[in-house]
Amino acid sequence: MLAIPASFPDHFLWGVSTSSHQFEGGNTLNQWHDWERAGRIRSGTVSGEACGWWRNAECDLDLCSQLGLNAIRISLEWSRMEPAYAHWSDPAVLRYREIIGQARRRGMRVFVSLHHFTHPRWFEARGGFLDAQAPRLFRHYAKRAVRSLGDLVTDWVTFNEPNVYAAFGYLFGEFPPGRRNELNSALSVFSGMMRSHAAAYEALHREQPEANVGLAVNYVVFEPARDNVLDRQLAAAYDVLFNRSTLSYLQGEPLPLPFAMLAPSVPECVGKTDFIGLNVYNRLHVRAPWGEKFGPGGLHVPRHLPQGDAGVDVPYGEAYPKVVSAAVRVYAALGRPMYVMENGVPDRADRIRPWLLVNSLKELRQMWQQGYDVRGYFHWSLVDNFEWSEGWHLRFGLYELDRSTGQRHPRPSAELYRQIIADKGIRRETLERWEKAPG
Ligand code: BGC
């Protein structure tokens, strides 16, 4: 029998993550559609038909079967479910029932996110998560989702990355509504999302006692560029605000001063998570911004460090497998099961993806061996898809998508992932082959 030195437990979940707007295509009802039409995508592209899932997700579900996946994460498009305030769409529910049913028939456990950056235009017009009514509106939507899909789904992710949504929409101007440097609004949006999470958590559990409800956070390692007080303090401030705020909210602990004055705690969300999803990609280097040439906010990716393809104007980030263990150690404080819910790299030529895949899994396995409750890994993503403000410029797929024909072509990483899943672990020669990042 083959000796697998880095093996995983039998019940481990092997999946891919996806989201509605990036995969389904053909939706004109959300705020991202307006953002794209306003020409806000750096590569000048629009999501358009995306990966065509609204017509045919089944062909990609077949690819999932070929990889041997036993799990998948999708999201519901709130704007399809509730196209106008309090008007619910039956055809949307039917289509989601088909997609989820088809995934289950192929042996996959389906995790369903309720919000992955997009929501209905009417909700955005009210102010999105700045609207005091947002928790109530989001609770209605959650209730509708569980009532119409609860016989097929028990694993719910209320929100994908409230920290990214708030920062990109209200500090960096990269996502709608495109506001910049509004720290107060960003923190209000964040707490509005956490209140909405708590409301949805309660509704899901009330309707479905066996529901397993969590949320996904994006975790980044912030490294001081130099060993001096300013760089260390700036890196620590990023760490507190970006990485630890979700944890603080869920634990009922105030953020450290001075941030606590800006972001009051949200008592109703304390303890309200059954698991935590960790979306782990990058390390960023932080240099107190004055003087030299550094990116916005002093964030920087040194050229010599491993990275995939760069964005149109800025690097995507250093590909950093150790972010997996960093995030697991911090979020273990919740005492809940953890899943790596996203991990990947933009890499059209599949130059460094195999290295990232192998080494991220190696980190995750070490965490499991050390007794951390890590239960699954979801790669971002199955097939090239619409990458938000970069559009089609960045390619995250295990499969390459030819957008003119719709054909999918496996990159070498697809076969590598298939083999790891089949072996339930990583072969010695694979570990050795990918020990070092390709230059
Ligand atoms: C998001 C995905 C995105 C991925 C790659 C994550 O932060 O949840 O929607 O495509 O990063 O950038």
Nearest to 70 by CA among 417, 432, 397, 322: 417
Q: Is the pTM of this model over 0.95?
A: yes
| Burial class for 377, CB neighbours closer than 10 Å (0-12, 13-18, 19+) | buried
Cβ(135)–Cβ(198) below 8 Å: yes
The atom number, within ligand 1, closest to the CA of 216 reads: 8
User: Which pLDDT value is given to residue 10?
Assistant: 95
| CA–centroid distance, residue 323 to ligand 1 (Å) | 15
Nearest to 219 by CA among 339, 324, 103: 324
Residues with CB under 6 A from ligand 1: 19, 22, 160-161, 164, 218, 279, 342, 380, 387, 396
Best mutation site among 164, 280, 309, 388 for ligand 1 pocket (most ligand atoms within 8 Å of CB): 388
27-51 residue pLDDT tens:
999 999 999 999 999 999 999 999 9
Residues 174-202 have a mean pLDDT of 96
Tell me the C-alpha distance between 43 and 32, whole Å: 15
| CA–centroid distance, residue 372 to ligand 1 (Å) | 25
Tell me the C-alpha distance between 388 and 385, whole Å: 9
Task: Give nearest CA residue, ligand 1 atom 7.
Answer: 218
The atom number, within ligand 1, closest to the CA of 161 reads: 8
User: Which pLDDT value is given to residue 433?
Assistant: 97
User: Which pLDDT value is given to residue 264?
Assistant: 78
Best mutation site among 380, 386, 401 for ligand 1 pocket (most ligand atoms within 8 Å of CB): 380
The atom number, within ligand 1, closest to the CA of 385 reads: 10
Best mutation site among 158, 387, 393, 395 for ligand 1 pocket (most ligand atoms within 8 Å of CB): 387
| CA–centroid distance, residue 26 to ligand 1 (Å) | 20
| CA–centroid distance, residue 116 to ligand 1 (Å) | 9
Core vs surface per residue 233-244: b (16+ CB within 10 A) or e: ebbeebbebbbb
| CA–centroid distance, residue 300 to ligand 1 (Å) | 19
User: Which pLDDT value is given to residue 294?
Assistant: 62
Cβ(146)–Cβ(202) below 8 Å: no
Tell me the C-alpha distance between 36 and 175, whole Å: 10
Compute and round to an integer the Cα radius of gyration of the chain.
20
User: Which pLDDT value is given to residue 298?
Assistant: 87
The atom number, within ligand 1, closest to the CA of 381 reads: 10
- Tokens of residue 383, six digits: 């097939």
Question: Is the predicted pLDDT of residue 292 greater than 70, yes or no?
Answer: no
Question: Is the predicted pLDDT of residue 291 greater than 60, yes or no?
Answer: no
Nearest to 399 by CA among 411, 390, 388, 391: 411
Question: Is the predicted pLDDT of residue 285 greater than 60, yes or no?
Answer: yes
The atom number, within ligand 1, closest to the CA of 344 reads: 5
Reduce the secondary structure of the chain to three states and give it as a string. CCCCCEECCCCCEEEEECCHHHHCCCCCCEHHHHHHHCCCCCCCCCCCCCCCHHHHCHHHHHHHHHHCCCEEEEECCHHHHCCECCECCHHHHHHHHHHHHHHHHCCCEEEEEEECCCCEHHHHHCCHHHCCCHHHHHHHHHHHHHHHHCCCCCEEEEEECHHHHHHHHHCECCCCCCCECCHHHHHHHHHHHHHHHHHHHHHHHHHCCCCEEEEEEEEEEEEECCCCHHHHHHHHHHHHHHHHHHHHHHHCCCCCCCHHHHCCCCHHHCCCCCEEEEEEEEEEEECCCCCCCCCHHHEECCCCCCCCCCCCCCCCCEECCCHHHHHHHHHHHHCCCEEEEECCCCCCCCCCHHHHHHHHHHHHHHHHHCCCCEEEEEECCCECCCEHHHECCCCCCCEEECCCCCCEEECHHHHHHHHHHHHCEECHHHHHHCCCCCC
Which residues lie below 8 Å from residue 369, measured CB to CB, with a gap of 6+? none
| CA–centroid distance, residue 291 to ligand 1 (Å) | 31
User: Which pLDDT value is given to residue 166?
Assistant: 97
The atom number, within ligand 1, closest to the CA of 117 reads: 9
Which residues lie below 8 Å from residue 266, measured CB to CB, with a gap of 6+? 191, 194, 195, 198, 249
Question: Is the predicted pLDDT of residue 126 greater than 90, yes or no?
Answer: yes
The atom number, within ligand 1, closest to the CA of 218 reads: 7
| CA–centroid distance, residue 22 to ligand 1 (Å) | 9
| Number of other residues whose CB lies within 10 A of the CB of residue 84 | 12
> Where does the pLDDT of residue 254 fall: very low under 50, low under 70, confident under 90, or very high at 90 and above?
confident
Question: Is the predicted pLDDT of residue 290 greater than 70, yes or no?
Answer: no
Question: Is the predicted pLDDT of residue 1 greater than 60, yes or no?
Answer: no
| CA–centroid distance, residue 18 to ligand 1 (Å) | 9
Task: Give nearest CA residue, ligand 1 atom 10.
Answer: 387
The atom number, within ligand 1, closest to the CA of 19 reads: 9
| CA–centroid distance, residue 280 to ligand 1 (Å) | 10
Tell me the C-alpha distance between 216 and 246, whole Å: 9
